[in-house]
Amino acid sequence: CSPEKRPKQAYQELQPFNFFLTKVKDIKNQYNSTGALNLKDLLSERMGSLKSSCHFNFMFDMEWLVKQYPESSRKLPLLLVHGDQGRDELRMKAEAQDFPHISLCRAPLDIPYGTHHTKMMLLLYTTGLRVVIHTANLIPNDWCQKTQGIWVSPVFSPLANASEKGDSPTGFKTDLLQYLAAYKSGKLAPWERHIQAHDMKTANVHIIGSVPGRHVLSQKNCWGHLKLKKVLSERGPEPTLVQNWPLLGQFSSIGSLGPNKEAWLTTEWAQSLNTCKGALMMQGVKTPQPKLNLVFPSKDNIRLSLEGYNGGGCVPYSIKTASKQPWLTPFFCQWISEGRGRTKAVPHIKTYTRHSPDGTQAAWFIVTSANLSKAAWGALEKKGSQLMIRSYELGVLFLPQYFGYKTSFPVSSKLEDVEKSEKATFPLPYDLPPTTYVRGDRPWFVDVPCVDLPDTFGNNWCPP
């Protein structure tokens, strides 16, 4: 994206949810002026006066990243946490040579096919510490014409006295420290100390993270879908409220999920996400499973997008994987975001929610780096005694009770509704209820040529 003229709107805290999308080039300004930020907004002086920062991510363009900082903070200490090994790590180190203020921390990835997928910023200001958890790679293309999600914490003030815990009712600080500890990296120690030293009592979301490993016993419920199951069984919705509320997953890639839906998707994974309060006390009681909708871009969603077929480059679902799981297609719904003006902004965001059939309420909502894969959410092994996770992932869970609601919170993708209702309304990234694929729709496959219909630019797709 070309450097924008100075943004008209001052930074708008979308209190209390603080959930934003990235700005999108070439859509009507009304869809970028509220509830949308770009990286320059996030790093601007208006957010705080930086002392140092740390980025956890998968892809980095260092030269571009440095230019997103204000001139005055372009030389401040910057730590990049990545998962690159071997030749890729050498390339990271070579690129960092040009930037004396940049240091690198490689996350250990000891299980094959794992990725360092987590996308988080730790921003240390002269006045405090801010945490940003999001879904965009640190490359220009991810911040230009896609739909990406961003949760922005308040600025946490330094703790008055170091003996105070300074945690919130959601255990945000404890869980974030537990996540960082899992890297077992000396390079992260300063940032663990910064987190320890700040008062996070106002954090109103739960951390849902994944770290690679074969997690057993007390570690088993700390990560992936079992962490979510634990939080929902303790603080989730009443079964009576949500019994016919569908579960919705929305993501930009899909792993190999097995020979049929019962192998993992509707049993292990969906049962964790469908967990309600008190579930762990109802072991063995078979509760009816709600409808499952999976929002994943169709070929035409990509073809007609602002980027045309090229937009499908960041939706890496391969026909090799898809051909093993034709049973998945009936769950698919189109990417439609008329309310946010982003139907043509390819979704790289990942979200999961349990919403009312009419799409006006949600029992909970998650924005995360985690796609629909066992690598990200975990797969039970050894008769359920261990949860095997391959990748690092990080997301935040919004529960109604932390936003002044008893059972569910109002949601809408129409920002005029969000802004005009005096009740805090969650700004959805897409339209609810979801729309199933129409006849002739097929899922987007990154490695299948498309020569039958031209895209936005009149081009075909001949995968690289």
Where on the chain is the footprint of ligand K8Y (CB under 6 A)?
A: 58, 115, 117, 137, 252-253, 255, 316, 371, 373, 375
H or E element in which residue 88 lies: helix 86-97
Among candidate residues 117, 134, 194, 206, the one labeled active-site is 117
Q: Is 4 left (phi over 0), alpha (psi -120 to 50) or beta?
A: beta
3-state DSSP call for residue 261?
Answer: helix
Cα 176 versus chain centre, distance? 15
User: Of 82 and 354, which has the nearer Cβ to ligand K8Y?
Assistant: 82
Element (H, E) at 452: none
Q: How far apart are CA 334 and CA 345, in angstroms?
A: 13
Residue 66 C-beta: closest distance to ligand K8Y, Å:
20
Q: Which residue of the set 194, 198, 206, 348 is catalytic?
A: 348
Measured from the CB atom, the residue of 136 and 241 that comes closer to ligand K8Y is 136
* In the complex, least distance from residue 261 CB atom to ligand K8Y, rounded to whole angstroms: 18
| H or E stretch at 367 | strand 361-368
249 token code pair? 């997953």
Joined tokens for residue 347: 């979704």
Q: How far is the CB of 253 from ligand K8Y (least distance, A)?
A: 3
Q: What dihedral angle (degrees, nearest 10) is formed by the CA atoms of 202, 206, 212, 216?
A: 120
| Rounded Cα distance, 23 and 454, in Å | 26
**To the nearest whole angstrom, how small is the minimum distance from the Cβ of residue 251 to ligand K8Y?**
7
Is residue 156 classed as helix, strand or coil in its secondary structure? strand
Q: Is 117 a catalytic residue?
A: yes
Reply yes or no: is the peptide bond before residue 433 cis, omega within 30 of 0: yes
Mark 370-401 as b/e (b = at least 16 C-beta within 10 Å).
bbbbbbbbbbbeeeeebbbbbbbbbbbbbbbe
| Residue in this structure with the two tokens 């980027």, named with its chain if needed | 307
Select 132 or 399, whichever has its Cβ closest to ligand K8Y. Answer: 132
Minimum Å distance from CB 212 to ligand K8Y?
Answer: 13
Q: Residue 59: which of 80, 36, 74 has the closest Cα?
A: 80
Task: Indicate the residue among 6 and 87 with the shorter CB distance to ligand K8Y.
Answer: 87
**225 counts as catalytic:** no
Taking the complex as a whole, the smallest distance from the CB of residue 449 to ligand K8Y amounts, in Å, to 19
Q: Please choose, from the candidates 318, 287, 312, 279, the residue with its C-alpha nearest in 3D space to the C-alpha of residue 297.
A: 312
Closer residue to ligand K8Y, CB minimum distance, 344 or 350 = 350
Closest CB to ligand K8Y among residues 353, 371: 371
Q: Taking Cα atoms as reference points, which of 417, 410, 400, 245 lies closest to residue 340?
A: 417
**In terms of CB distance, is 199 or 307 closer to ligand K8Y?**
307
Q: How far is the CB of 211 from ligand K8Y (least distance, A)?
A: 16
Short-list 350, 419, 428, 356, CA closest to 391: 350
Catalytic residues: 117, 348
